[in-house]
Amino acid sequence: MDKFTEVLGLNYNFSFGDTIYRINKNREVKLHRPAEMLSDADIAALCAYTVAQMAKLLEDKYLHWMAHKFVQLCDLAVG
């Protein structure tokens, strides 16, 4: 197993470099298209949902903070 991971690490860019480049290029192209951008109403709705969900998590003083709740809060904060 150690030899496999070592060889994979050495050949990672050779094996996956083109694919990673294409994924990143497609992501950049699609995100910069005006037609792909969200409308102002969609952004406002998303913002309202995010703030409401964060408030719901933070205002519950009896909430038992397990890992999945913390991850949910972090995901809301990141976007």
Residue 40, token pair as written in the block? 């102002």
pLDDT at position 29 is: 75
Same domain, 43 and 11: no
Same domain, 25 and 6: yes
Residue 47, token pair as written in the block? 């913002």
pLDDT at position 54 is: 95
Tens digit of each residue's pLDDT (9 = 90 or more) over 5-64: 888 888 877 888 888 888 888 887 776 677 667 888 999 999 999 999 999 999 988 888
The total number of structural domains that make up the chain: 2
Same domain, 16 and 43: no
Nearest-CA neighbor of 76 among 62, 59, 56, 61?
A: 56
> Which DSSP string do the residues of 36-61 spell out, in sequence order?
GSPPHHHHHHHHHHHHHHHHHHHH-T
